[in-house]
């Protein structure tokens, strides 16, 4: 059994490692998307190649792994509720996307759930950006938060995931100032 003093340190590491791994997943997705020049959108929501499986699974993993990073940002900028919305939407979208990977095709509910999650992610990101700006974050940082949604989803086929990867890699490189216990309260 782990000693109690080790738990906060482990949770703080999770806040750094998970978004960094998310950045890696987004980078892989971006590179594969660029290498393939996008995928055929007329495949009736099926996954037809190894590259499409890599992209879809990588996207699902990245969403899951960056959720703790959003929670940490929310605590840092006083926008906990906004980042809870983002994290919740990310986790639901991740689960929905994982179901597509397992099935080899999108489930019938995907076309309803995915857009709702993306809108919630965008709305939460705008609220987080406003809060970050009020707390002294640079304009570029604040603009980047909602821009990540655009880079990650509509610009995915042209390697937009690489921009999202760069953002999360930069966040993971920041010194730990927020612990898990303060990020989740």
Phi, psi (rounded to 5 degrees) for 105: -165, 155
3-class SS of residue 45: coil
Q: What is the pLDDT of residues 36-67, one digit of tens each?
A: 876 666 666 788 889 899 999 999 999 999 99
In terms of average pLDDT, the best of 3-7, 105-109, 115-119 is: 115-119
In angstroms, the CA 67 to CA 102 distance is 22
| pLDDT at residue 177 tops 60 | no
| pLDDT at residue 98 tops 80 | yes
Give the distance, in angstroms, between the CA of residue 114 and the centroid of all CA atoms in the same chain.
14
Q: What is the pLDDT of residues 123-150, one digit of tens each?
A: 999 999 999 999 999 999 999 999 999 9
Q: What is the pTM of this model?
A: 0.85
In angstroms, the CA 39 to CA 29 distance is 12
Distances (CA, A) of 25 to 138, 140, 150: 26, 23, 17
Percent of the chain surpassing pLDDT 70: 82
- Summary mean pLDDT of the chain: 86
- For the chain, the domains span 13-174
Cβ atoms < 10 Å from Cβ of 169: 16
């Amino acid at each position: 059994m782990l000693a109690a003093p080790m738990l906060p340190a482990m949770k703080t590491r999770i806040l750094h490692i998970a978004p960094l791994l998310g950045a890696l997943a987004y980078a892989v997705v971006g590179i594969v998307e660029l290498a393939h020049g996008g995928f055929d959108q007329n495949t009736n929501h099926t996954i037809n190649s190894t590259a499409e499986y890599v992209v879809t699974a990588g996207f699902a993993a990245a969403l899951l792994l960056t959720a703790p990073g959003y929670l940490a940002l929310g605590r840092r900028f006083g926008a906990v509720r906004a980042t809870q919305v983002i994290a919740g939407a990310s986790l639901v979208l991740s689960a929905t996307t994982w179901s597509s990977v397992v099935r080899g095709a999108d489930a019938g509910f995907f076309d309803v759930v995915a857009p709702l999650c993306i809108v919630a992610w965008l709305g939460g990101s705008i609220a987080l950006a406003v809060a970050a700006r009020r707390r002294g974050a640079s304009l570029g940082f604040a603009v980047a938060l909602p821009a990540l949604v655009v880079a990650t989803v509509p610009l995915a086929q042209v390697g937009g995931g690489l921009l999202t990867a760069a953002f999360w890699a930069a966040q993971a490189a920041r010194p730990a100032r927020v612990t898990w216990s303060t990020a989740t309260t």
